[in-house]
Amino acid sequence: MADILPKKDQNGQKERSSDEAKDEPKGLRVKPINNGTVIDHIAGGQALNVLKILGISGTTDATVSVVMNVESRKLGKKDIVKVEDRELFEEEVNRIALIAPAASINIIRDCKVIEKRTVDLPDEIVGVVRCQNPNCISNTLEPIKSRMLVKTKNPVLLRCLYCEQPLTDRIAEYLI
């Protein structure tokens, strides 16, 4: 993954791509964080769902910056979430992939991006998303966990393994 490495110009300075320049004119929109996680390239309007997945609500004492609907060459409009002093669990990253399939997760240490990864969905998701069909066996009192097959990853299209009900919109509302 050579393209995740920062490009350097002759002076050893990191080149600012036009995407970056467009996304964050005149440098960062918010104060840089020393340590934490930047979730970038979230589809415009999905930032609050990302916060929900991270368990960050109105009563949080975490230091969080949210940027919504800024221009992005890749996505048209994108959201960004920056959480200080926190790195994400695999399960949180997998949930983010459900609502923000193009997201990149940047780990910040000492103010620098030390790791960048894209999100990815497994082929099957167990016990994470409820089936939309109220009569589905996974929605009864039977001790049966929901099982969703991932048909496409971007846009995300899920299909219930039991009743074949598709789920593609408003996935955030069906997270368990």
Ligand X SMILES: Nc1ncnc2c1ncn2[C@@H]1O[C@H](COP(=O)(O)OP(=O)(O)OP(=O)(O)O)[C@@H](O)[C@H]1O
Q: Read off the amino acid at residue 128.
A: V
- Please report whether residue 163 would count as binding Zn ion according to CB under 5 A: yes
> By the 8 A CB rule, do 119 and 103 touch?
yes
Question: Under rule CB under 6 A, how many of the chain's residues touch ligand X?
Answer: 16
Residues in region 82-141 near Mg ion by CB under 5 A:
none
> By the 8 A CB rule, do 15 and 8 touch?
yes
Q: State CA 144 to chain mean position distance.
A: 28
- Please report whether residue 40 would count as binding ligand X according to CB under 6 A: yes
> By the 8 A CB rule, do 91 and 176 touch?
no
> By the 8 A CB rule, do 32 and 78 touch?
no
- Please report whether residue 66 would count as binding ligand X according to CB under 6 A: no
Q: Read off the amino acid at residue 169.
A: D
- Please report whether residue 71 would count as binding Mg ion according to CB under 5 A: no
Nearer CB in complex with ligand X: 27/134: 27
- Please report whether residue 38 would count as binding ligand X according to CB under 6 A: yes
Residues in region 81-120 near ligand X by CB under 6 A:
82, 104, 106, 108, 111, 113, 116
> By the 8 A CB rule, do 175 and 94 touch?
no
- Please report whether residue 20 would count as binding Mg ion according to CB under 5 A: yes
Contact pick of 162, 172, 174, 175 for Zn ion (by CB under 5 A)? 162
Residue 103 partner contact from Mg ion, ligand X, Zn ion, none using kind-dependent CB cut-offs of 5 to 8 Å: none
Nearer CB in complex with ligand X: 111/149: 111
